[in-house]
Amino acid sequence: MTVTNANDNAGLHSRKDAATPRGVGVMCNFYAERAENAELWDVEGRRFIDFAAGIAVVNTGHRHPKIVAAIREQLDRFTHTAYQIVPYASYVELAEKINRRAPGNFPKKTAFFTTGAEAVENAVKIARAHTGRPGVIAFTGGFHGRTMMGMALTGKVAPYKIGFGPFPGDVFHAPYPNPLHGVSTADALHAIEFLFKADIDPKRVAAIIFEPVQGEGGFYPAPADFVRGLRKICDEHGILLIADEVQTGFARTGKLFAMEHHDVVPDLMTIAKSLGGGMPISGVVGRADVMDAAAPGGLGGTYAGNPLAVAAAHAVLDVIDEERLCDRATALGERLKAKLNALKGEVPQIADVRGPGAMIAVEFCKAGTDQPDVDFTKRVQARALERGLLLLVCGVYSNVIRFLFPLTIQEAVFDEALGILEEVLKESVAVAA
């Protein structure tokens, strides 16, 4: 007779299946017990190197001492008042910091929320209130959340949209530039102009929303001429430009915000994920006159700008500056790209290595073709997990591995992870052969 432990990985997995719905997909077959910087340990004591960072949430590492201290200090004061009922200085001070540091040499305002999807929803609300228009244009491969509007904006069906429609109307999609798969900047911009001919009058479009580097879509960076083209279209037609920086923000791309890589400034920007260093907080920052379009009471939420999360966010910004994490993101990203590019001769499935800063991806195609190699990608991910390295897959075809290690990762741990990656790539080639 087999005796099971209800609190080991197998026991917890059985309990999970009985207690939680299958719609909450779970990647790993183990359960976290503790974590520190770029490492975590499961309930059975096994160690893992975390190249997922909670989907780009802990750029400053798991349990950074300064962030933990900031949360503990706030715990001794108060944990919740609802900012809209009883406000507190730390919220205002954080808004002031974000306003100063967000792109744009003009007056800005910031409102805080809880999740990235909430930030996107509220950015659309603000844009509609400011313009008096209903339409929103997004892009294929984009990801903007799992709420109804978030799903409508998201340009990837599986797994996000299956069975959940109908979605809000007046949302349109254009192709996102993707040179590897034959979509040029000119193609993408022409498609927007064609939308104006075939689907929606530009005078009815409130906003165009895009990711400066697509996240779930495959870590495709927006070309500079594409971003300039979006700004030109928006200016010509009185449309607001929204940059979704939920995944790209807070040093991940080598700048505090990915839009700093461009000579174009958005009207609104959504932020979340690593702003809280593990605590749930998001926001919308933008032109003051645009942000003021919503009437009092039109924005907010019970937990929006939670004081514990706000305290963590203040500490996150300090850590990014003090530990020069923007520079470190660039340095670590260059080392990873060099490793992957050096392996191209031995791993013919490597079709592309890309990304700014430490927002790096490797795309796999069947050797000698431009056909996505999903099986090879799954094999690399699975073998890495067996070796104790967490990797995330993304892309419309799920043939891209994205790297989201904490920017505070220890040198020895980073080198260890690159060694594991090289081994599993070579092993996967041998199996494929």
Write a three-state SS string for the chain.
Answer: CCCCCCCCHHHHHHHHHHHCCCCCCCCCCCCEEEEEECEEEECCCCEEEECCHHHHCCCCCECCHHHHHHHHHHHCCCCCCCCCCCCCHHHHHHHHHHHHHCCCCCCEEEEEECCHHHHHHHHHHHHHHHHCCCEEEEECCCCCCCCHHHHHHCCCCCCCCCCCCCCCCCEEEECCCEHHHCECHHHHHHHHHHHHHHCCCHHHEEEEEECCECCCCCCCECCHHHHHHHHHHHHHHCCEEEEECCCCCCCCCCCCCHHHHCCCCCCEEEECHHHHECECCEEEEEEHHHHCCCCCCCCCCCCCCCHHHHHHHHHHHHHHHHCCHHHHHHHHHHHHHHHHHHCCCCCCCEEEEECCCCCEEEEEECCCCCCECHHHHHHHHHHHHHCCEECEEECCCCCEEEECCCCCCCHHHHHHHHHHHHHHHHHHHHHHC
Look at residue 4 in the predicted model and tell me its pLDDT. Answer: 63
> Which CATH code for domain 9-63+324-432?
3.90.1150.10
Q: State both tokens at 384.
A: 């890495």
Tokens of 223: 């070309």
Bridge partners, residue 284, by sequence = 111, 270
Beta-carbon count within 10 A of 168 CB? 15
**225: nearest Cα among 185, 274, 282:** 185
Asked if the domains 9-63+324-432 and 68-322 are classified in one and the same CATH topology, the answer is no
Encoded tokens for 266: 């958005």
Q: For the chain (length 433 residues), average pLDDT per consecutive 10?
A: 75 94 92 97 97 97 98 98 98 98 98 98 98 98 96 92 92 95 96 97 98 96 98 98 98 98 98 98 98 96 97 98 98 98 97 97 94 97 97 95 98 98 96 75
Please give the C-alpha separations between residue 409 and each of 51, 405, 423, in angstroms, as whole numbers: 10, 7, 20
Angle at 337 between CA 332 and CA 341, to 5 degrees: 155
CB 200 within 8 A of CB 172: yes
User: Alpha-carbon distance 222 to 209, whole Å?
Assistant: 12
Gap between the Cα atoms of 359 and 405, Å rounded: 9
Distance of alpha carbon 198 from alpha carbon 196, whole angstroms: 6
| Domain ranges within the chain, ordered by starting residue | 9-63+324-432, 68-322
Per-residue model confidence (pLDDT) at position 1: 42
The reported pLDDT for the residue numbered 368 is 86
- Cβ-in-10-Å burial (0-12, 13-18, 19+) of 431 comes to exposed
Q: Are 262 and 356 in contact (CB under 8 A)?
A: no
pLDDT at residue 5 in the model: 84
d(CA 312, CA 195): 42
Planar angle of CA 139, 145, 146, nearest 5 degrees: 120
Residue 320 token pair:
């990014």
Structure pTM?
Answer: 0.96
Q: What is the pLDDT of residue 433?
A: 67
Other Cβ atoms less than 10 A from the Cβ of 156: the count is: 20
Return the bridge partners of 192, or none.
none
Please give the structure tokens belonging to residue 427: 């092993």
CATH of domain 68-322: 3.40.640.10
Return the number of other C-beta atoms located less than 10 Å from residue 260's C-beta.
Answer: 16
Size of the chain in residues: 433
d(CA 113, CA 124): 14
